[in-house]
Amino acid sequence: MASYRKLNTGWKATVSKRVNGKLKQLSKSGFTTKNEARLWAVTVEAEDNLTTIKAGKDISFKDYFESWYQTYKAPKLSDVTLARYKIIARVIDKEFKTATLADITRKDYQRFINHYGANHAKDTVYKVNSIIRACVKSAVLDELLTKDFTEGIELVYNVKRNLKVEYLEEDELKLLTQATIAKLDGKHVTPYIILTGIYTGMRIGEILALTWEDINFDDHTMNINKSWDYKFNTGFKPTKTESSNRVIAVSPELFDYLKQLKSDDKMVFHPVPTTNAVNKMLRQLLTDCGLTKQGFHFHSLRHTHVAYLLSHNIDLYVISKRLGHSDMTVTAKRYAYLLNSHNQSVEKQITKAISLLS
C-alpha cells in the first residue's frame, strides 16, 4: 500500500514494488498535489498487478479486483471513494479467500450476497454489488472468464439496517432558520455555514470550499466549482462529479448575512471548521428549537431543501440542476421517498382540476 507525505518541496509518495522477485520500496517526491503523487503510486502498483494477471488465468478474485481498481479506477477516484474500493477488497479477501476467478460460480456469488446482505443495508449491498459487477465484466473482457457470475443475482439486504432519512417540514425549517440567524455574530463561521446549507442545499464540502470569487453579489449567484477535502484535510479538490460544477441562484438575504464575514482572506468561511463542529452546532440548534430528529446531520439539510422546494411546486428538473445531478433520474431515485409524498399532493390537484370540467 502506498504512503504519502507532504514536504517543503511538495508531496512524496512511497510504494512497495517487486524488483527481481524481491519487495523493495520506491519513492518519488516533488509532486505539486497529493493527487499527482497518488497517480504515480497507482501506476507503479498497477504494473506489478498487471504482470501477475498476464502470468495466467489462475489469479485469485482478490488479486484481480485490486489490480482492476488500481489500474482503471484509482487515478480518477477521490480519497473517500478509493477507501471504499479498499474496503471491498478486504471483504472479497475474507469471503472468497484464495478462490480464483475461474472457480467462482453464480451460486457461490449468490451465497456471498446472502451472507453479506444479512448484516448490511440495501444501499451498502447495492454499491458493493455494482462495483464487483464492473470488476467481473472487466475480467470477461480480459478473457479470464467466459461468463459473468454476477449476472442475474438477487440482492439481499437487512431492512432493519436501512437508515430512515430525516428531514424537516416547512414549519420546522422556519424554526431552525430563525434560530440559526440568531446565532450570527460576524465572527464565528459555523452558523453561517448551516444557514448556507438551508438556503442552497449544497453539500458540506462545496460550502467549505467557497471563496469570495465564487460569489456574485450583483447577480445573486454562487459558482460551485470545487470542494473541500474535510476528511483528509488536504485543501481544495474537484467537485463530486462533473455535473456538480454549476451556478445557482441565491436569495439576497443570504448574501446580506455572508457580507458580515467579508475579510481580506479569500475563503468565505475562515478558518475552515471541522464537520464535527458544524454538526455539533446543528444538533444544538435543533435542540434549542425543541426538534427531535434522530440521525439528523448536515446532509439532511440537503434533503430538507429538496422537500421545501417540492412543497412549493418547483419543477424537478430545476431542482436536479440546482443539486448538481447529471440528470433527473438521479434526483428521482435519490429522493423517491419525497417524491411519493409530493405526488400524492399533486394527484389531489389533478383530481380537483378535472372536476372543474363538469
DSSP string, 24-59: EEEEEEEESSHHHHHHHHHHHHHHHHHHHHHT-S--
pLDDT for 57 equals: 59
C-alpha cell, 161: 439496517
One-character DSSP codes across 52-94: HHHT-S--BHHHHHHHHIIIIIGGG--HHHHHHHHHHHHHHHH
> pLDDT tens-digit profile of 94-141?
999 989 998 999 999 999 999 999 999 998 999 999 999 999 999 999
> pLDDT tens-digit profile of 237-270?
999 889 999 999 999 999 999 999 999 999 999 9
What is the 8-class DSSP label of residue 159? G
> pLDDT tens-digit profile of 181-215?
999 999 999 999 999 999 999 999 999 999 999 99
Q: Which residues are within 8 A (CB) of 105 and not within 5 positions of it... i.e. 6 or more apart?
A: 149
What is the number of other CB atoms lying within 10 angstroms of the CB of residue 138?
A: 19
Beginning with the edge strand found earlier in the chain, give each strand of the sheet holding 215-216 in spatial order: 215-216, 221-224, 246-249
> pLDDT tens-digit profile of 171-183?
999 999 999 999 9
Identity of residue 121: A
170-353 belongs to CATH 1.10.443.10? yes
What fold, for 3-161?
Answer: DNA polymerase; domain 1 (1.10.150)
Confidence of residue 218 (pLDDT cuts 50, 70, 90): very high
Q: Domain limits of the chain?
A: 3-161, 170-353
What is the number of other CB atoms lying within 10 angstroms of the CB of residue 203?
A: 22
Same fold, 3-161 and 170-353: no
